[in-house]
Structure 1
Amino acid sequence: MFHPVSAFIGVRYLRGRSGDRFSRFVSYMSTAGITIGVMSLVTVLSVMNGFEAQLKGRILGVLPQAIVSHADGRTPNTSPPDFLEQLPSSALPEPIVQGEAVIQSANTLSAGLLIGVKPNDHDPIESFLVAGRLSSLQTGQYHVFIGQSLARGLKVSVGDKVRLMVTSASQFTPLGRIPSQRIFTVAGIYNTGSDVDSQLIVTHIDDAARLLRLPTNTITGWRLFFDDPFVVSELGSKALPDGWKWQDWRDQRGELFQAVRMEKNMMGLMLGLIIGVAAFNIISALIMVVMEKQSEVAILKTQGMTKSQLIGVFMVQGASSGVLGSIIGGGLGVLLATNLNSILDSAGVALLSVGGQLPVLVNPFQIGTVIVMAIALSLLATLFPSYRASSIKPAEALRYE
């Protein structure tokens, strides 16, 4: 069977002889280092992807992802403007009333974001309800939905009364300036497992408009939904018709997701250095092999082997460690990531609260990129030792043989 001479000799050198134990040991350590580095990087990135996706679903699934409104904040509640049809939204635009409010119970008070919506079956908050139904939000009944953390802080439950106050809609009276306020009934409680539970207050759009003292048939703007909430960074940079403005979730949660993304990048960089250290081990291992094989390289050159063929011999030997380590590490990383919660449970390690599990999201494209970059780094590490081997002069190497 035909074998390329460079690959054939490179594989023979990779196996080594019984006297090359130290060189083989260094080569095996290089392979193990790349395997551990790739496995760790794949596992950590999968967990960080899971956290990012969980935040995206829990926070951006409930908060208004984007709102398009008149520049003065008062938009006629007639029909969505025509230019919204050109946006890649996942659902039809819905009217929304939004404003900052203070909620007070018999025990304490807290500040939050008040949004008024039209209740429907596909509203994102419906899937997070732990008490009550969204259909109970009826106009004129002044019902309100609050998060579980906020309900715990206010010490209220379903059926209790709370007072909502809006300072932006205050009015002057003989007693001074008094904010707009109204008694609401807690009709439901939701739980997203994020800090939104302590801030977001949901009520019917008509009740919110009355509390904010908006004119009849007037809303804050049109609420937009997207399959990927991160698309707002691209859409927000587009120019809107005169008199319209754009606002999205980045105004309230942009710093949180930037911090998550930065942490993810820093973890990737730190673990990538492990792969870099293992690649440098390939250089040291190959240099030792080149020193041991000087006479053999000289004989190969006298038999007509070209420089490029000699470079190929040692690139095959060195890159084999990177290829094997990257592929094995990628496979072990996927296996570890998918079974991480089971392994932690069997070891009795609880990183989250009772019943909580680490979110894991395996991204095949990301894993492929990590493996390819690790292989490329390994190939890069073989260039100098391979070039040094090809520069050996046969007469000097065989002088004392």
Structure 2
Amino acid sequence: MFHPISAFIGLRYLRGRSGDRFSRFVSYMSTAGITIGVMSLITVLSVMNGFEAQLKSKILGVLPQAVISDESGKTAYTEVAPDFIQALSNKPAEPIVRSEAVIQSASQLAAGYLVGIEPGDDDPIGQHLIAGYLPDLQPSRYRVFLGHTLARSLNVSMGDKVRLMVTSASQYTPLGRIPSQRNFTVAGIFNTGSDVDGQLMITHIGDAGRLLRYSKESISGWRLFFDDPFVVGELSQQPLPKGWEWSDWRDQRGELFQAVRMEKNMMGLMLGLIVGVAAFNIISALIMVVMEKQSEVAILKTQGMTNNQILSIFMVQGASSGIIGAVVGGGLGILLATNLNTLLESMGVALFSVGGQLPILINPVQIFVVVVLAIALSLLATLFPSYRASSVKPAEALRYE
């Protein structure tokens, strides 16, 4: 804790005298640099957090977040999932049948990811349907829901017939190896706003099982649900009973989220360097102040001030610039992030071709960490100039006065 007289003198030095214009200018510029750096860092991180959260809700809300299955590839179906599986899921685990598949329409052919589910009122796909109803997925009716991007590429709409083919369940015939295939009717179209819409196909678990040539007592595995899909990294490390294996969304979308996280880290590093440069400007400002104030420091020492008190004076002066810049930058960053879409709209800047806005997610903990680190970096930058000031020898400083 600073001695009151040290804090008083340090704040007086921060304001400066009318004759110290250049040193005051450098001090103000370092404060402004920290303000701009913290504001930019908070704004960019809020946008990147929004993109990450949007991807989690749109992609991982529809794709199976995690599946526990038998190592043989086929899992025995029971009315209720085993207890160790239920303990890992935030809501009751559900049976699932899944496989890579090829879909063919009258005019086009595409590859995708087939998922067979037991349709329920709380199934995530129901929130993204733009045509059709979830109860339309009934057993033995061979109906399928397609993403709107996939439906458009196949040139199909509601009621059209498509052929689903699964190579993993192919049969050997006199004509060669023929994949398991069956005609399905398009009964629904969904839109998640992500690339999943170009690959995902949803059908009833019974129809998917028959396409894959599963028996009625077999499924691909048990589907788990989480409030935060990123917990799969921790849960996947937990040991499972012998004969069971774990798979999760990282197999299909892990690289995408790694790229988003890498981009967020790199943007944070680049903008953090702005704060670092501004903090080092404090060093140059303080060194100039120390050189100007040598005689005053010498007089303070002759009046009984200790080296630690002199050290505290210049630490207060330098740290005050960092604290003011970090706090003001944090407030401006929150204000800018909150009103960023409104500001872009008023400037006539359109970042998306068809409507849409930048997703913004302000993380209070992240903001607190950014502000605290900026203050700590500023405080660190004051150590060397403050030490130089405390080591001034009164006899030498006042020799030519």
Q: Deviations over 1:26-45 (max 9, x none)?
A: 00000000000000000000
Using the alignment, how far apart are the partners of 2:296 and 2:288 within structure 1?
14
- Tell me how many residue pairs correspond in the alignment: 398
Determine the structure 1 residue equivalent to 2:52.
52
What pairs up with 1:330-349 in 2 under 5 angstroms?
Answer: 330-349=330-349
Residue 94 of structure 2 corresponds to residue 84 of structure 1: no
**Letter aligned with residue 332 of structure 1:** L
Superposition TM-score, scaled by structure 1 size? 0.98
Deviation at 1:174, TM superposition (A): 2.0
Residue of structure 2 in register with 1:7 after alignment: 7
CA distance in 2, matches of 1:261, 1:42: 16
* Deviation readout 1:302-348 (Å, 9 max, x if unpaired): 00000000000000111111000000000000000010000000001
Residue 90 of structure 1, CA deviation: 2.0
Offset of residue 86 of structure 1: 2.4
> Aligned residue for 1:107?
107
Give, in angstroms, the shift of residue 215 of structure 1.
1.2
Query: Structure 2 counterpart of 1:115, which letter?
Result: V
Residue in 1 aligned with 2:119? 119
Map of 2:241 onto structure 1? 241
- Give the distance between the partners of 2:353 and 2:368, measured in 1 at CA: 33
Q: CA deviation at 1:216?
A: 1.8
Report the counterpart of residue 93 of structure 1 in structure 2. 93
Amino acid at match of 1:86: A
1:210 is matched with 210
Aligned to 2:300: 300
Partner of 1:40: 40
Q: Cα RMSD between the aligned structures?
A: 0.8
Partner of 2:365: 365
16-25 vs 3-12, which moves further: 3-12
In structure 2, what residue type is equivalent to 1:323? I
Shift in Å at residue 353 of structure 1?
2.5
Letter in 2 for 1:77: Y
Q: Distance in 2 between matches of 1:41 and 1:286?
A: 25
Deviations 1:26-74 (A, max 9, x none): 0000000000000000000000000000000001000000001111111
Please name the residue that 1:201 is paired with: 201
AA paired with 1:10?
G
Instruction: Please list the CA deviations of residues 9-41 of structure 1 after superposition, one character each: whole Å capped at 9, or x if unmatched.
Output: 001111111100111100000000000000000
1:398 aligned onto 2:394? no
- CA deviations on 1:253-283 (whole Å, 9 max, x unpaired) are 1111111111101100000000000001100
1:143-200: CA deviation from partner (whole Å, max 9, x where unpaired): 0001011011001111111000011111122222111111100000001111100111
Check if 1:156 corresponds to 2:156. Answer: yes
Question: Which residue is equivalent to 2:144?
Answer: 144
For residues 164 and 140 of structure 1, the distance between their equivalents in structure 2, rounded to whole angstroms, comes to: 15
Matched residues in 1 for 2:9 and 2:174: separation? Answer: 98
Consecutive unaligned residues of structure 1, counting only runs of 5 or more, are: none
Alignment-mate amino acid for residue 205 of structure 1: I
Deviations 1:61-106 (A, max 9, x none): 000000011111111111311211321x221000000011100001
What's the TM-score, normalizing by structure 2? 0.98
Q: Distance in 2 between matches of 1:166 and 1:234?
A: 33
Deviations 1:228-276 (A, max 9, x none): 1011111111111011111000111111111111110110000000000
- Counterparts of 2:311 and 2:42, CA distance in 1: 31
Corresponding residue SS for 2:42: helix
Structure 2: distance between partners of 1:259 and 1:221 = 29
Shift of residue 125 of structure 1?
0.7
SS at match of 2:41: helix
Give me the whole-angstrom Cα distance separating, in 2, the residues matched to 1:97 and 1:294. 79
CA distance in 1, matches of 2:348, 2:107: 40
Amino acid aligned to 2:12: R
Partner of 1:256: 256
Distance 1:195 1:37 in 2: 34
Task: Read off the aligned partner of 1:148 and give its amino acid letter.
Answer: H
User: 1:208, 1:86 → 2: CA distance?
Assistant: 27
2:315 and 2:177 map into 1 onto residues whose CA distance is 80
Q: Distance in 2 between matches of 1:361 and 1:353?
A: 22
Q: Sequence identity, in percent?
A: 75
2-structure distance, mates of 1:251, 1:237? 15
SS of 2:64's equivalent in the other structure is: coil
Equivalent residue, structure 2, for 1:280: 280
How far 1:352 sits from its partner (Å)?
Answer: 1.7
